[in-house]
Amino acid sequence: MMRRRPLMTAARRRRAGFTLVEIILALSILAGSLLGMAMFVRNFTKSTTDTTVRTLANDLVNSRVEAVKGWRVYSTMVATFNATTETWATTNMYTGFTRRTYAVRTGPSATADYVTVTVTVTGRGLTSTAKTTTIIAAF
């Protein structure tokens, strides 16, 4: 005796694949997750770029402070460094930055003889100025 296969009913035939609603729902979830990932990548890139610019500005500030600290002739320090401005317009990693140095001498007197040096760097999309102040005493 031969067994017959049951005939597929109309309800079973319709459920053979995905419905349009299921496909739309799956695509909506996929699109939402891809948009979230794109926003994360954009924010991460912006944060990395801002950090790089801030690091370069701080490098410029620190290099000038170290140059002033290493200056051998104390009596010429103010004349050499006060009110100097440098701008990098050539194509290098510091392009777009402007560095200003101010040096003010207090003294000489019996109790006070020092130079206050302030270095600021601006430009290239910095949200705030990179700035350092140091005091160098007569030696």
Lowest mean pLDDT among 3-12, 82-91, 99-108, 112-121: 3-12
DSSP state of 112: -
Residues linked to residue 85 through DSSP beta bridges, in sequence order: 100
Strand, helix or coil for residue 130: strand
- Mean confidence (pLDDT) of the chain: 87
How does DSSP classify residue 92?
S
Q: Inform me whether the pLDDT recorded for 8 exceeds 90.
A: no
Mean pLDDT, residues 39-65 taken together:
92
For residue 108, what pLDDT is reported? 76
In sequence order, what E strands does 2-112 have?
A: 84-87, 97-106
**What residue segments make up the domains of the chain, in order of their start?**
18-137
pLDDT score for 125: 85
Residue of 29, 123, 127, 114 whose CA lies nearest to 85: 123
Q: Is the pTM of the predicted complex or chain greater than 0.75?
A: no
pLDDT classification of 127: cutoffs 50, 70, 90? confident
Mean pLDDT (whole number) for 4-16: 61
Distance between CA 139 and CA 119 in Å, rounded?
22
